């Protein structure tokens, strides 16, 4: 069992917020899910995990048969960590429970970027927390290959509560790919994940998250990011497979001068999927910059695509771009871009567009000899292509492959 790390104050706040609904998204009945603390056998060699689990994890970008492509690996099944390993000096990867035992100071990072009483989901993580990952790069160390983390829902009807802490010490560079998935294609489950990122001076973190749930799973990630002077946080989020209900609104706060945050999201809502996904950037320091880009496609599900940029310091710059494509008559996309400026000398902008595939474009491609379905597929593929600045080429190619692998389900 995981030792409790938080102070009594956190617990008290969590208890007070235990029934507090989230600001957005459908209210999930937490009582409908089981809370398990069952241990899982740990696995030193992750390639020996069951083939089916490995296949599901691979679908979410987690490679277990070729560790050479990863700087480290963390795997948690339900609420129990089963593997953590590191292949590069200057990188730490372990279960957060272990990290709490190892580092007294880790408590200083607990609930600093996400308020424990944000809603009943954060409260539930505090009150029922069963691990999560701790990933840290030491000062000046740069990972070449990404660290991978997988949060795997194995048992049906289970609530998975995780609290992850990611720290990039000064002038370090850390690439993370995290895949979240389920054993079953159909059983219900709940994933509650708190992730707190601390990007110190001059550090760079890229965080690529591929979600591969099933049509019965509800997901409530709660993410906070703090970026110090000249730091960079780049988030790429991909959800192309069905999920019942997903709501998240990660918030990045640029607290140091010239800090940069970029969010890219690719969302596909299948029939029965309800997504409410946003990205929020608070620019609190001079010269901070952000870019938030989302591409949303529905072929029958509903999407609320939010974006929020707040400029509170001189010379900050932010741009928000939200484009939505409705492939069938059934789906809905609601784009809600918001900008807030609190002083002169800031530069914030947004563009949003929601529509169907333009017939003019389809016909144009058809005059070059493409059939109607080839032309449509080409346009959809183009729509989903986001050129991501700052992502290592290997990771960029992997991300593109993951997107392309799911594209055919859309047609």
Residues of this chain that interact with other proteins (CB under 8 A) are 323, 358, 360-361, 363-372, 374-375, 378-379, 381-385
Terminal Cα distance for the chain, rounded: 46
Q: Which is nearer to other proteins, 314 or 355 (CB)?
A: 355
Angle at the Cα of 132 (from 1 to 82), degrees rounded to 5? 70
Between 57 and 384, name the residue whose CB sits nearer to other proteins.
384
CB of 372 to other proteins, least distance (A): 7
C-alpha to C-alpha distance for 373 and 131, rounded to whole angstroms? 46
Q: How far is the CB of 396 from other proteins (least distance, A)?
A: 14
Q: What's the min distance (Å) between Cβ of 240 and other proteins? A: 16
Q: Which is nearer to other proteins, 21 or 355 (CB)?
A: 355
Nearer to other proteins, 250 or 324 (CB): 324
Q: From the CB of 390, what's the least distance to other proteins, in Å?
A: 17
CB nearer to other proteins: pick between 24 and 383: 383
Q: What is the dihedral of CA 377, 382, 385, 389, to 10 degrees?
A: 160
What crossing angle do the helices spanning 359-366 and 372-384 adopt, rounded to 10°? Answer: 120
CB of 351 to other proteins, least distance (A): 12
**Token reading at 191:** 């994933």
- Closest CB to other proteins among residues 218, 297: 297
**397 CB contacts (<8 Å, ≥6 apart)?**
none
Instruction: Tabulate helix, strand, coil % of the chain (nearest 5).
Output: 20, 40, 35
Question: Alpha-carbon distance 44 to 48, whole Å?
Answer: 8
Comparing CB distances to other proteins, the nearer of 330 and 389 is 389
Our CB check for other proteins shows the closer of 183 and 305 to be 305
Residue 357 C-beta: closest distance to other proteins, Å: 10
> Minimum distance from CB of 241 to other proteins (Å)?
21
Nearest to 259 by CA among 236, 287, 279, 281: 287
Distance CA 161, CA 25 (A): 18
For residue 146, count other CB atoms closer than 10 A to its CB: 26
Q: How many other β-carbons are positioned within 10 Å of the β-carbon of residue 7?
A: 12
CB count within 10 Å of CB 353 equals 11
Which C-beta is closer to other proteins: that of 353 or that of 405?
Answer: 353
What gap in Å lies between CA 205 and CA 393, rounded to an integer? 15
**Cα–Cα distance, 34 to 155 (Å, whole number):** 10
Structure tokens at 365: 């491609």
CB of 288 closer than 8 Å to CB of 225: no
Q: How far is the CB of 267 from other proteins (least distance, A)?
A: 15
The tokens for 131 are 């691990």
Q: Tell me the closest approach of the beta carbon of residue 363 to other proteins, in angstroms.
A: 6
Cα pseudo-dihedral 84, 249, 399, 262, rounded to 10: -110
Q: Shortest approach of other proteins to residue 365 CB, angstroms? A: 7
Residue among 3 and 359 whose Cβ is closer to other proteins: 359
């Amino acid at each position: 069992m995981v030792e409790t790390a938080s102070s009594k104050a956190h617990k008290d706040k969590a208890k007070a917020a235990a029934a507090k609904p989230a600001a957005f998204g459908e209210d999930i009945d937490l009582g409908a899910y089981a809370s398990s603390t069952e241990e899982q056998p740990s696995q030193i060699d992750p390639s020996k995990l069951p083939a089916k689990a490995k296949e599901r994890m691979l679908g979410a970008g987690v490679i277990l048969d070729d560790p050479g492509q990863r700087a480290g690996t963390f795997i948690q099944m339900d609420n129990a960590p089963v593997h953590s390993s590191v292949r590069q000096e200057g990188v730490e990867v372990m279960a957060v429970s272990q990290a709490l035992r190892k580092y007294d100071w880790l408590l200083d990072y607990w609930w600093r970027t996400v308020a424990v009483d944000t809603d009943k989901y954060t409260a539930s993580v505090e009150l029922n927390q069963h691990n999560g990952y701790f990933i840290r790069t030491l000062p000046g160390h740069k990972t070449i290959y990404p660290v991978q983390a997988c949060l795997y829902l194995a048992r049906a009807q289970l609530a998975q509560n995780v609290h992850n802490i990611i720290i990039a010490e000064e002038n370090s560079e850390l690439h993370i790919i995290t895949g979240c998935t389920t054993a079953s294609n159909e059983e219900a489950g709940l994933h509650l994940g708190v992730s707190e990122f601390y990007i110190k001076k001059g550090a760079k973190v890229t965080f690529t998250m591929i979600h591969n749930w099933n049509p019965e799973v509800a997901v409530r990630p709660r993410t906070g990011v703090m970026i110090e002077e000249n730091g960079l946080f780049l988030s790429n989020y991909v959800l192309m497979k069905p999920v019942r209900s997903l709501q998240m609104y990660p918030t990045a706060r640029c607290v140091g001068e010239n800090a940069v945050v970029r969010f890219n999201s690719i969302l596909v809502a299948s029939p029965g999927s309800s997504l409410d996904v946003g990205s929020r950037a608070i620019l609190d320091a001079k010269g901070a910059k952000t870019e938030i880009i989302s591409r949303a496609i529905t072929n029958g599900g509903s999407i609320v695509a939010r974006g929020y940029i707040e400029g509170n310091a001189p010379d900050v710059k932010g741009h928000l771009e939200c484009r939505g494509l409705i492939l069938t008559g059934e789906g809905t996309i609601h784009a809600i871009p918001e900008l807030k400026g609190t002083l002169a000398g800031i530069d914030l902008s947004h563009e949003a567009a929601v529509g169907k595939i333009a017939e003019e474009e389809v016909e144009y491609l058809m005059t070059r000899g493409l059939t109607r379905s080839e032309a449509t597929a080409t346009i959809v593929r183009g729509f989903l292509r986001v050129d991501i600045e700052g992502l290592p080429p290997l990771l960029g190619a992997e991300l593109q492959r993951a997107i392309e692998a799911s594209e055919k389900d859309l047609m």
